[in-house]
Each structure stands twice: as C-alpha cells, then as structure tokens.
Amino acid sequence: MAHYSIAIVGAGPAGYFTAQALQNAQNEDRIFSIDLFERLPTMWGLVRSGVAPDHPKIKTVAKVFEKVAAEPNFRLFGNIEIGRDIDIEDLTSRYDAVVMCTGSSIGKKLGIPGEDFPGSISAAEFVPWYNGHPDYARLDIDLSGTTAVVIGAGNVAMDCARMLALNPSELDPTDTPEYALSKFHSSNIRKVYIAGRRGVEHAAFTAPELRDLPKLEHTDIHIDADQVSAAHARVEAIGEIEKHTVSNLEAWRLIAEHPKSGHERAMEFRFLSTPKEIKGNGKVEEVVFGINKIENGKVIDTGESYSIPCSLVISAIGYQAAPINGVYFHNGIIENEAGRVLGTNIYTVGWAKRGPSGVIGTNKSDASDVVNLILEDLKEPKATMDIQMLIPESHQVIDQGSWSKINAAEISAGEPAGKPRIKEVSWTKLLSLGLN
C-alpha cells in the first residue's frame, strides 16, 4: 500500500473540501496523511470571517469541516504562515503534493480620484472587520454620517449594504463581535445605495439573497421598476434566457413591487452607474457616477453623470490573492492550469486558483477535480522527515486540540447571551485560549 503525504495551505472551505476529497479517494492501494496549515489561530476561513453574521445557516458547513478534521491521518498546523514560518520549498521537498487554498484577501481598487480619502474603504476590510478577524478588529470604521454607498453587484456588496441598512437589533443574537455590534448600534447611517456598472440582468447577486431582501423587517428596499422591465426586455430580445437570470429577474420584480413601509432605513439599487470620482474636502463627501446604457449587449458611457452625497464608500468589486514567497501569481491568482502549477508538485483550489467566484459549495467540486489531477500525477511516495522538525519548540502551533479549545470557549461565552458564540478577536488571547 502506498502512503502519501499531502500538505494543504489554508484552512478555509477550499482547504477542508480538498482534505475531504483526499480522504474519500483512499482505498486498499493508497492512503493519505494530510497536514493542513493556516496562518491564523482560527479556522474555517470565510465561513468564519466572510459569511455575514445574519446568515447563520450557511456557517453550519463548519460541521463538515470538523468531521474531516476528526479523521485519522489529519493534522492541523494553525498559527503557521507559509513563506514566513515555513518556506514553500520546505513543503514541496517533503510532501508528495502541496495544495494552495489561500483564497483572495486583497480588495481590487476602483482606480478613481479620491479613492484614498478617509471614509473610502474596501469590502476586503469591512467584511473581516464586522466578522471579528483579528487582523481587522482595530479598524476605525466611521458610521457617523447618514448615507453610505456600496460599489459592486455581487453577494459581498449585498452583505456590506445589508449590514449597514438593517436594524442593529437584528444582529444582537448573532456572532457579530461586540466592538462591531456597538458601532452598528450607534450608527447614523439610514440610507445605503448599491451601485453597479452594468444592467440589472448582469448583477451577480444570487436569487436567494435577493428573495431575502423584502423580508427585512425594518428596512425598505428600492429599485426602479422601469430598470427591471428594461432588463427583462433586453434578455428576451437575446432569445433563450439562462435559468439563473430568469430567477433573478423575477426576484427583482418582486422587490420592485413589494410595498414600502416608510421605514427610516432604506437600501436602494442603482444600475448602469460607473463610479468616476470620490469628492470631498479631505474626506468622502460625494461620489460622482457616469450614467451608462446598453446597446447590442455592450455597456456604453452616455457622457451624463449624477452624484450621491455620502460619508462612506465601500468598494466590493472583487478580490485578488495576497502574495506568498515562493509562489508565482498572475492577475491576482496563482499561476495554474486547471489547478496544476506546471513544473512543480504544487496545486491550487478555490479563489487562489480561479479568482473570487462561486459560493462556498463551489469549492467542493473544485477540490474534487483538483484531487483527481493529483491522483493522476502521484508517483512513488517520498520518504522525508516530519515537517514538525522545522518548527521551533518556542513557536506555538494551534493543532486540532488547541482549536477545539478556542472554539469551545467562544461557544461557551455566547450561551448566556443567547448567541452562537462570542468571538475572541485578539491574536494573543486566541493563542492563550489554545493553551488552556
């Protein structure tokens, strides 16, 4: 029987689904020892630090991750950064395959004047801030103004806008960290705009996200019914409409027709709007948008513009991967061919491979496809020393037992408050919890 050693870098959905696919691929001819490395002392990636707190059902996928971690021949190495604590060459020389599942954590820039004003931030900062990511807990997010603009037309933009527009009481029973919850309760923001460059039919929101919007109890949702009708006419003119587009347009119609209750909190969608400039006297005060139209399926600038006075701008136009020493990146992703990093025993799964697209479940099929490539490529197993020999004894590793202690402590802290957990956001305290 062949016994292979596989290193996975990144303990998010892509990492755990890759481990699961490897475990499922074991048979009487081959078994896998899997070492999962994570830079943070906390696990689960975007399930913990990306999924909005008011969507707890999505987070239940963590139960699958814990089952994967409980299998034999699985080891967790948290608080280990590849490229700093351990070199990528240390992995490629000691493991039969190395799978990079490091995601995409850097927000793409708008590339417009005024983008660097105070009050202009990226969703790549705002989302981990309201989710208690230890690297972002100290950010000073200014919610003192009355109006915010979110630029982008995907689920991340939707999450940002919804978190700003809903009544903070709806977050009280969630795992929103205390510092963010306090900030939301004192927020003066009452109107949130979501602006997309293309038409309604092109928006990347998923239908379930759209259908949930009218269910917000304290927030009115606005979209111009004429924009929805025009989008419908455009796609009908093309001919056969994709199923998800039909579903989305129906959800948009229901939003447009949903009665407005006169709430002081409101979210409004603006399409065919390209951000041109952020104006202000040393801080965000206004966003100027160019007005677009669609001709023959193409987005065209009409030369006209409008502006929205606001104090906060959040750009949610995509992500790119953070660099890692020893790994080549191109256009914000790891250079790869269908998941293979050619000429090496490195592979990649998830956003680091394909960019920020798909939902959490997309990573499961992605992982399965890449594991099939690994199985095709495997040769004789390597016989090398354990990676633990390279980690100084003074360096605290968060293994599965340590992570279980952190997880249990957070859940225990949340129980008296009726919350699923109270997140610890201090790196030092997280490490301390892992020792107890």
Q: How confident is the model at residue 236 (pLDDT cuts 50, 70, 90)?
A: confident
Residue 428's CB: how many other CB atoms inside 10 A? 10
Quote the pLDDT of residue 383: 74
Give the total number of structural domains in the chain: 2
Looking at the predicted structure, is the pLDDT value of residue 50 above 80? yes
List the CATH number of the domain containing 362.
Answer: 3.40.50.720
Q: Does one domain contain both 276 and 189?
A: yes
- Residues 51, 54, 60, 62: what is their CA dihedral angle, to the nearest 10 degrees? 40
Q: Which residue has the tokens 């000073």?
A: 140
Quote the pLDDT of residue 385: 80
- The average pLDDT across 256-269 equals 94
- The average pLDDT across 200-207 equals 91
Q: How confident is the model at residue 225 (pLDDT cuts 50, 70, 90)?
A: very high
Q: Does one domain contain both 311 and 337?
A: no
How does the average pLDDT of the chain come out, rounded? Answer: 95
Quote the pLDDT of residue 239: 74
Looking at the predicted structure, is the pLDDT value of residue 211 above 90? yes
Quote the pLDDT of residue 235: 87
List the CATH number of the domain containing 144.
Answer: 3.50.50.60
pLDDT digits over 93-108, tens only? Answer: 999 999 999 999 999 9
Q: Does one domain contain both 29 and 163?
A: no
Among 140-144, 203-207, 404-408, the range scoring the smallest mean pLDDT is 203-207
Looking at the predicted structure, is the pLDDT value of residue 360 above 80? yes
Structural domain boundaries, residue 273: 109-317
Coil, strand, or helix at residue 48? helix
pLDDT digits over 19-45, tens only? Answer: 999 999 999 999 999 999 999 999 999
Looking at the predicted structure, is the pLDDT value of residue 240 above 80? no
Q: How confident is the model at residue 311 (pLDDT cuts 50, 70, 90)?
A: very high
Both tokens of 223, joined, read 């979209």
Domain assignment present for 289? yes
Rounded Cα–Cα distance for residues 15 and 102 (Å): 8
Q: Does one domain contain both 278 and 353?
A: no
- The average pLDDT across 386-414 equals 96
CA torsion sign for 150, 155, 160, 161 is positive
Where are the extended beta strands (E) located within 39-141? Answer: 74-78, 97-100, 106-107, 120-122
Q: How confident is the model at residue 238 (pLDDT cuts 50, 70, 90)?
A: confident
H-assigned helices in 107-206:
123-130, 155-165, 178-185
Rounded Cα–Cα distance for residues 123 and 38 (Å): 22
Domain assignment present for 429? no
Q: Does one domain contain both 187 and 308?
A: yes
Rounded Cα–Cα distance for residues 424 and 7 (Å): 28
Q: Does one domain contain both 184 and 304?
A: yes
Q: Does one domain contain both 80 and 26?
A: yes
Looking at the predicted structure, is the pLDDT value of residue 421 above 90? yes
Q: Does one domain contain both 312 and 214?
A: yes
- Per cent of the chain over pLDDT 70 is 100
Quote the pLDDT of residue 319: 92
- Please give the single-letter amino acid code of residue 206: T
Q: Does one domain contain both 90 and 46?
A: yes
Q: Does one domain contain both 69 and 84?
A: yes
- The average pLDDT across 232-239 equals 84
Q: Does one domain contain both 339 and 279?
A: no
Q: If we measure between CA atoms, which residue out of 173, 78, 129, 103 comes closest to residue 404?
A: 78
- The average pLDDT across 343-372 equals 93
Domain assignment present for 405? no
Count of helices and strands (H, E) across the chain: 14, 19
pLDDT digits over 175-197, tens only? Answer: 999 999 999 999 999 999 999 99
Cβ atoms of 292 and 272 within 8 Å: the answer is yes
Quote the pLDDT of residue 359: 85
Rounded Cα–Cα distance for residues 102 and 100 (Å): 6
Q: What is the enclosing helix (H) or strand (E) of 238?
A: helix 225-238
For 105, phi and psi rounded to 5 degrees? -115, -5
